[in-house]
Amino acid sequence: MNPVEIKDLPGLVGTEVGVSDWLLIDQDRVNKFAEATGDHQWIHVDVERATREIGGPIAHGYLTLSLIPALSSGMLPVKGVTRGINYGSDKVRFTNMVRVGKRVRLRQKLIGAEPKAGGMQLKNQCTIEIEGEDKPACIAETISVVYGG
């Protein structure tokens, strides 16, 4: 997508702003997330047990959610932005497991844009898709605010 002006963002509401490249979810990423968050549940980090009991380890739901900023980077370039902040999320749902070894990508649609606190508040519908599967891993509405100079 070509860069747009902050003032023009409301006109893009309803538009799919991008689809990211695929990203491999490997065991190393899952283990590092477990270390960072203290969530060492066996379904994520005990490869032998997870393979035996559930067919293999799965990524943390919050790991999947946390990929949204990186996967969305550059999808909606906005001219003159001096900073942007995460404001929150609405309606986060983990609708499918991401098995270690699978690839995921983000599909993002702008669903809201309105002035807020001297900037523009953006709401995006973010869908994390799993390669080769019909049901996505995560659907979330993320909220951010961008400011121009």
pLDDT at position 79 is 93
Q: Is the pLDDT of residue 31 over 90?
A: yes
For residues 137-146, average pLDDT:
97
Angstrom CA distances, 112 to 9, 41, 79, stand at 9, 36, 18
Q: Which domains does the chain have, with CATH numbers?
A: 4-148 (3.10.129.10)
pLDDT at position 59 is 98
Angstrom CA distances, 3 to 12, 78, 83, 123, 145, stand at 12, 5, 15, 18, 17
Mean pLDDT of the chain: 96
CB atoms within 10 A of CB 2: 5
pTM, two decimals, is: 0.94
- The DSSP code for 8 is G
pLDDT at position 149 is 72
pLDDT at position 99 is 98
- The DSSP code for 38 is T
Report yes or no: 136 and 128 within 8 Å, Cβ to Cβ.
Answer: yes
pLDDT at position 43 is 98
Confidence of residue 1 (pLDDT cuts 50, 70, 90): confident
pLDDT at position 41 is 98
For residues 83-104, average pLDDT:
96
Q: Is the pLDDT of residue 84 over 80?
A: yes
Closest CA to 130 of 101, 95, 103, 108: 103
Please list, in sequence order, all residues whose beta carbon lies within 8 angstroms of the beta carbon of residue 31, skipping any fewer than 6 positions away. 45
Between CA 139 and CA 133 the distance in angstroms is 14
pLDDT at position 2 is 85
For residues 80-86, average pLDDT:
92
Count of alpha carbons within 13 Å of 7, Cβ hemisphere only? 1
Please tell me whether residue 62 adopts helix, strand or coil conformation: helix
Confidence of residue 86 (pLDDT cuts 50, 70, 90): very high
pLDDT at position 117 is 87
- The DSSP code for 140 is E
Please give the structure tokens belonging to residue 28. Answer: 């190393």
Please give the structure tokens belonging to residue 51. Answer: 């393979």
